[in-house]
Amino acid sequence: MTKRYFLVLSLFISAGAIAQKTMPKGTTYSAANKTVKVYVTEKGTDKRLSPDGSLKFTSNPQPPETEFAIFVDPAKTFQSMVGIGGALTDAVSETFYKLPKDKQQELLSAYYDKTKGIGFTLARTTIQSSDFSSASYSYVKEGDADLKTFDISHDKKYRIPFIKEATAAAGGKLTMFVSPWSPPAFMKDNNDVLHGGKLLPKYRQNWANFYVKFINAYEKAGIPIWGLSVQNEPMATQTWESCKYTAEEERDFVKNFLGPTLAKGGMASKKLIVWDHNRDLLYQRASTILEDPAAAKYIWGIGFHWYETWTGAGQNFAAVRQTHEAFPDKNLIFTEGCVEKFDFEKLNDWSLGERYGLSMINDFNGGTVAWTDWNILLDEKGGPNHVGNFCFAPVHADTRSGKLIYTNSYYYMGHFSKFIKPGAKRVASVASRDKLLTTAYMNTDGSLAVVVMNSTDEKLDYSLWIKGKSAKVTAQPHSIATLVVN
């Protein structure tokens, strides 16, 4: 391999950027003498991330068009995986400490243990309160523009101790990014942390200083911060904590205040994320902000959510692909998603997990480098939430009985996070029929993880085909499988 190849590879890995390239000349991948281990989650059975046998490859130079196939080409590689995880909010931590000690340890192991659990490596938390807090609060006293009263004592009761426990369970490292829902009320034109409103121009520098204060305070408390987003959902006027920015306002805030302030505070290496809202406006926001070089130089990537479905439309994966194609030097990160309108009677609804599988496969295939669920744990009411915006989480704690309830979305996410590790390269994986969805990654240890999802009512037999070798697989109705090739 040439020196030039190593240079390009190291640049892409260090930036976490999207690399669309082929393997070096002369390098080939052969499935000969390799084994496929199958792990399955399947509706109507007790199979949940369950081992489901091993398969061998046989020679199959030209598969017939009459048969289903998943074609995988490890020689065609794309973006590197940064991580998969979920948000550690006030609601999560408050619910966690209502559980018995043994259930607390069970939850930590379920999410963060790389062997016994699903190996989450990524996390998000909030700057000040969000809807998933028991009440609104600020780190500064009313009117303190100079931030002299800045104090994160509120978070030291539940949130910071929980994040530390989660980090320890993850082996001592958790890639953490942070997001504000609203500046303090006095900094906004509606004098209210709720109901939208905008940051007053005279407080732009003070608010930029606030991010640096927060990151310093959390890092002093023992929680390293990898990155930050400018604003959660900057186009939404919510009944909960919210603040609105147009694309131009967010661009100029980054260019003139937040970017320079981070750099001056020794935080130029923190990954700065813009947008952090739904896919529907993703391209418009990215193009408006990133086409200004003075703003773009501070920006690591563009974050997005999946709630564009509030319009009655489906998930807009085309926006992800188009944004990646237009701005391949910037990273795409899914920063939040959950199923809304909590109903305890629907905790076993199979569509919960299938929504995750659909999104994750399409987002990764569209160039996304990291994927973050919303709350990893909520109570039996879908909270706590101080404005009644109750939602589903992959795991719910019934605080009345002290039991944990695992929805199938936990297992669906695990089919990715357990087998696709940070640093893995996405490789080409194409289904011959649209009844199957697939994505695939080559891990740094040489293992190949191929995820295949069947959301139909049909049993589908297919071949996992890699360069003239194939293995016969069956996808049961409403199932997801990870095929690990070693």
Q: What is the pLDDT of residues 140-163, one digit of tens each?
A: 999 999 999 999 999 999 999 999
pLDDT at 24: 53
What is the rounded distance in angstroms from the CA atom of residue 299 to the CA atom of residue 275? 11
- pLDDT exceeds cutoff 70 at 272: yes
Q: What is the mean pLDDT of residues 259-270?
A: 98
Confidence of residue 25 (pLDDT cuts 50, 70, 90): low
What is the pLDDT of the chain when averaged over all its residues? 95
Share of the chain above pLDDT 90, in %: 94
Positive or negative torsion for Cα 178, 180, 183, 185: negative
**Which candidate in 42, 165, 241, 336 is catalytic?**
336
Domains of the chain: 35-79+427-485 (2.60.40.1180), 83-422 (3.20.20.80)
Annotation marks residue 325 as catalytic: no
Six token digits for residue 308: 């564009």
Residue-wise pLDDT tens digits, 99-129: 999 999 999 999 999 999 999 999 999 999 9
Rounded Cα gap, residues 187 and 206, in angstroms: 9
Edge-to-edge strands of the sheet including 377-379? 377-379, 395-398, 403-406
Token digits for 410?
A: 């936990």
Condensed to tens digits (0 to 9), the pLDDT of residues 361-412 reads: 999 999 999 999 999 999 999 999 999 999 999 999 999 999 999 999 999 9
380 is a catalytic site residue: no
Evaluate the omega torsion of the peptide bond into residue 384 and state whether it is cis, within 30 degrees of 0: yes
| Strand pairing category for 122-127 and 331-336 | unpaired
Choosing from 42, 233, 241, 308, which is the catalytic residue?
Answer: 233
Rounded CA-CA distance 338/356 in Å is 9
CB 474 within 8 A of CB 460: yes
